[in-house]
Chain A
Amino acid sequence: MPAARPTRNTAPAPGDGGSRAVRLPGPFEHFYLQEYPRVVKLVYALSGSRAGAEDIAQEAFLRAYRDWDRVGSYAHQAAWVRRVAANLATSGLRRRLVEARALARLAGRRELALEPLPAEQADFGRALRALPRRQAQAVALFYVEDLSVQQIAVVLGCAEGTVKAHLAKARHTLAKRLQLDHEEER
């Protein structure tokens, strides 16, 4: 465990300009610790960016933190942050902006926490990212996050039938591109 870590349970007061103690609200902290690694993984799958994945995930959590009064009351907070992260990761312009900031900050300062993927898996990642945006998100949530169709529908804010259609089209395309057997899941 790191020596210094924010543990307070109250949100910083507006204008709290102290430079040392970083105060985060307890429920948000708990939510963040639980979800952050999974969201990074999802973003890495969708963006393919080792440098930017953590920053894109951070951006999503920053938005959750900013609006925690509202987001914290949602029944599906985890779905909310995944939706934001998935949209950031698949939005070319916004992703590049975050990546550029991440690269500038990282330059010569910090080792990347994410390891590169082996070639075969990287190929799959490229094929995934070549899919239409919503299909790519559905596939990543299904395979990488292990979410059910029902849960994906909550994350993407669409009907379960739409998710099933996205998955079916995406699987067909992926199988064709990667020259794989296409077996329908149960």
Chain B
Amino acid sequence: MTLDARARAFAEGLQRSTIRVDPVARLEELGRRRRRRRVARVATALATAIALAVVAWIGVREAERVAPIVNPPPGSLGRVVATIPVGASPVDVLVGQDAVWVANAAQGTVSRVDPAANTVTGTIQVGRNPVRLAAGFGSIWVANETSQTVSRIDARTGQPQATIPVTGHVAPEDLAVGAGAVWVRRHVRLWRLDPATNTMADETGDWEVGGAGTAVVDRLLWLSGNTFSGVGQIVRVDPATSRVVDRFTTAGSGALVVGGGSVWQAGITTQSIYRYDPSSKRLLAQIPVGVVAKHLTADAESLWVSSDSGRVIRIDLATNQVIGTFQVDGRAPAVAVGHGSVWIVDTAHAALLRVRPG
């Protein structure tokens, strides 16, 4: 047995051994510990000396005031026309034909929003910590990270159809639809979910690219990420054989999307977006955005970038220029476009913002 095989077996063993770790159950405890610690701190300070306590209190207050998040002024992305309350910790949004869907991580639910009325018309219980949504085969697919399952919801009725466990007790973190299947990804691991049977097959190949950028382009799977030696790459995989068709080194390693006849990739450490020609695989443009892009989406005219810093950025596909920005208070982990609007997940207010582009 090789060292790498042994190490990976160790990692798999750890995954299995920590399967019952429940972040939701421990969340309250964290809050209680935080409060207990505050109380203990105050008691200690009182017991020591009033003067010392006052000095310490002033110090703590000064330290707590540190929050200089300096953001450039938001530009002209558009104006908010509706703020729609959804579940706690919304993390992903998807625009469907009749509805807009939001994954609420902390509640383990998906909200179904009627774009005609700007209201939630249904809340569907899925697995724990749903992190990613995808649409295809008449369904909405939900990657439940903590449950290590994929939920299937009827896109027309909003009714749950199936819960499919990911084989090998692995937490899914990305989804892509295309080439006759739903593709479920976790780092280097990849599964093919057959929508006809709701069964999942491990299709992990020897691409050795870990990351979370996954797309289907011209019936090929594009996987974005870093190799084990830390080099950003996009690997193109034939979904029929799970074999690597080709690979090319990239400047980025993050989220991936197709739009305007190009493939767009997020650069994590460079805080840039990279544009590639899918045929020649040539880098066409690097667009600095000043944020770590979390999620990319594209329509006919624009690329939309969301980020954990709360900034949403619009890039013009024709000129590769940033033409609009929008800032939310908390994180903006996802953005989607459709029904004449931009839909932005706003974690600070547990809401979905509907923005009319300016």
Contact = CB atoms under 8 A, between A and B. Distances in A.
Given A44-B18, A146-B188, A33 B66 contact: no
B21 A150 contact: no
A186 B30 contact: no
Interface in B1-43: 1-4, 6-11, 13-35, 37, 39
B11 A144 contact: yes
Interface string A46-70: 0000000010001001100111011
A30 to B, nearest CB: 4
A151 B232 CA distance: 11
Interface stretch (B101-109, B160-168, B278-286): B101-109
Interface of A: 1-2, 4-7, 9, 12, 16-17, 22-27, 29-30, 32-34, 36-37, 40-41, 44-45, 54, 58, 61-62, 65-67, 69-70, 73, 75-77, 113-118, 120-121, 124-125, 128, 139, 142-144, 146-151, 153-154, 160, 163-164, 171, 174-175, 178, 180-183, 185-186
Contacts of A76: 292
The A contact surface, by secondary structure, is: helix
A1 B128 contact: yes
A123 to B, nearest CB: 9
12 contacts: A6-B28, A16-B35, A24-B31, A32-B27, A36-B26, A40-B21, A70-B67, A113-B21, A115-B20, A164-B229, A164-B230, A185-B208
A116 B31 contact: no
Contact of B24 (A5, A61, A125, A150): A5
A33 B3 contact: no
A105 to B, nearest CB: 10
Contact of B26 (A45, A58, A163): A58
B356 interface: no
A1 B225 CA distance: 33
Contacts, number: 226
Contacts of A185: 4, 208, 228-229
Contacts of B39: 17
Interface of B: 1-4, 6-11, 13-35, 37, 39, 63-69, 88-89, 91, 105-108, 125, 128-129, 131, 145-146, 171, 187-188, 208, 210, 225-230, 253, 269, 271, 291-292, 308-309, 330-331, 333, 347-350
Contact of A73 (B21, B69, B106): B69
A9 B11 contact: no
Given A7-B350, A66-B34, A37 B18 contact: yes
Nearest to B188: A146
B89 A186 contact: no
Contact of B348 (A26, A114, A142): A26
A41 B15 contact: yes
A49 to B, nearest CB: 12
Contact of A4 (B17, B28, B129): B28
Given A143-B11, A185-B4, A117 B30 contact: no
Contacts of B24: 1-2, 5, 33
A67 B82 CA distance: 32
Contacts of A182: 2-3
